[in-house]
Homo-oligomer: A and B are copies of this chain.
Amino acid sequence: MEREKLYLYDTTLRDGQQTQGVQFSTAEKLRIAEALDVLGVDYIEGGWPGANPTDSAFFHEVGTTRATMTAFGMTKRAGRSAENDDVLAAVMNAGTPAVCLVGKSHDFHVTKALGITLDENVKNIHASVAHLVASGREALFDAEHFFDGYKANPDYAVACCKAALEAGARWIVLCDTNGGTLPHEIGQIVAEVIEKGVPGDHLGIHTHNDTEMAVAGSLAAVDAGARQIQGTLNGLGERCGNANLTAIIPTLLLKEPYASRFDTGVSMEALEGLTRVSRMLDDVLNRVPFKQVAYVGASAFAHKAGLHASAILKDPSTYEHVDPGVVGNRRVIPMSNQAGQSNLRRRLVEAGIEVEPGDPALSRILDRVKTRESEGYSYDTAQASFELLAREELGVLPEYFEVKRYRVSVERRKNKYDRMVSLSEAVVVIKIDGEKKLSVSESMDEEGNDRGPVNALSKALAKDLGRFQDIIDDMRLVDFKVRITQGGTEAVTRVIIDSEDSTGRRWATVGVSANIVDASFEALLDAVRWKLVRAGAT
């Protein structure tokens, strides 16, 4: 049997940006778009050009994608032609192959919010879509409040969809804008819309998670015949978020009847990158990834109950609905037992360290990791710091140098032009081969801007490492993340630093302290030590 095509439409960059506290930079948008394109979604909705400078810049800078790049906007306003609507023109100017226009389909909103007649609204939809099609664009019509509108006035709601369809829209997207429609209602209404003459392979579904059923609602629409799903990575989006593509995609690929029935643009190989994509987004947002999320969460395959953990060892299928590897995730078994040790050995091998099974150092390392994680450290991403910890416990970490002390000061005062300016200065004192070395640096960059105390400290630490100086000269700090791991004044700060060298190699280190400068220094120090270890310095 030939599989039907089921289209995935990602709106992380547009509706996802409606999340409280989320504001992507252009660079972040480009990074997310690239990940989406590798994953294999069919459409990437990049934003609303004209309404938002970052969105306009994104469309300007983004290169060719496999996915159909889509700009979002709204149908033309009443009282002007589609050609003369400047808001619509700005959307068209982004030059994307597809354009999605939101419009009303709920009679109440037409008269109440737009203040125009029902007929005028239908004409606006038709004219706007026709304008897109005449300009050679693939047109999508986003029927806002569709389900509430259908319940209030089914004929009118469907008439709006048909107007778009007749004008040449490739897709009519049925939006549950308020997120309150339950899956069984969505399924029933989609079936009725198809019966009333809008073909299912022209219907998209756009749900929100206000009843925690956005995923189920999307699948109910597909069951009823819709062939496009709109959603976001990690379920980002206004209020409780949009339908979570990170949960929907694996279900479509791994679960029946979907797996046998549909083709999506996502391959089984790409699916293995899903966990990484999800973490990347959290990374961009500087969020601690929520552990208990379907498929990709760090706890999604964690087996805590003793009963479960021992059964898992006999046969993983007893307590796992899918193999964690297929979504790029991994099984977590409490550190205390044997499985914990074999996991550890695998991580050590990745760091080039071979330890015999049963070596007592393994449980010492595990204990140390546990203690430090309870203090706020995190070795999930900071593999380089983990490796240093393990080497220390195994007695194979040279003490290259000793930090005797450091001092960093930040001063803010008026300069001679009566402007407030800041300057940081750091002094680091180390001892190498019995010799004391004092280094001092300040935080000014080449343009004369203050880059803060951590920058000054980083420069002072790397200024004179004696005979190791050659090794670390090509190192640079490329990312710096700060998280407060406990609320309140007495919070503990976790700093994760990504470093890179001239070979393009990247490594992550971690530092934890109540003092943010100390935490940063610890991570900087680990970055230098790891580089020395890898260079084989002794």
Binding site for B on A (CB under 8 A): 18-21, 23, 25, 27, 51-53, 74, 109, 112-113, 145, 177-180, 182-184, 209-213, 215-217, 219, 223, 235, 238-241, 244, 247, 250-251, 255, 286, 288, 290-295, 297-305, 307-308, 311, 314-315, 318-322, 332, 334, 336-338, 373-374, 378, 380-381, 403-414, 420, 422, 424, 443, 445, 449-455, 458, 476-491, 493, 513-518, 521
Contacts and interface: CB of A to CB of B under 8 A. Distances in A.
A26 B220 CA distance: 42
A177 B312 CA distance: 13
B212 A486 contact: no
Contact of A422 (B378, B484, B518): B518
B489 A484 contact: no
Contact of A215 (B109, B212, B291): B212
A121 to B, nearest CB: 15
Residue of A112, A223, A294, A373 with highest tally of chain B CB at under 10 A: A294
Given A305-B238, A406-B412, A477 B451 contact: no
Contact of A294 (B183, B212, B483): B212
Contacts of A332: 20
A319 B413 CA distance: 48
Contacts of A292: 19, 209, 235, 239-241
19 contacts: A19-B292, A19-B304, A20-B302, A27-B487, A113-B318, A178-B320, A209-B292, A211-B321, A212-B244, A240-B292, A286-B484, A286-B486, A405-B411, A407-B410, A407-B412, A410-B518, A451-B514, A478-B487, A482-B482
Given A212-B244, A251-B182, A452-B515, A483 B286 contact: yes
How many monomers of this chain does the complex have? 2
A189 to B, nearest CB: 14
B488 A478 contact: yes
Nearest to A241: B292
Contacts of A336: 23
Give the 9 A-B residue pairs with the shortest CB-CB distance, closest first: A180-B321, A216-B216, A452-B515, A405-B413, A212-B247, A409-B409, A482-B482, A212-B294, A178-B321
A300 B413 CA distance: 43
Residue of A184, A290, A458 with highest tally of chain B CB at under 10 A: A184
B518 A109 contact: no
A122 B183 CA distance: 37
Contacts of A25: 485-486
A424 B304 contact: no
A481 B486 CA distance: 10
A178 B412 CA distance: 54
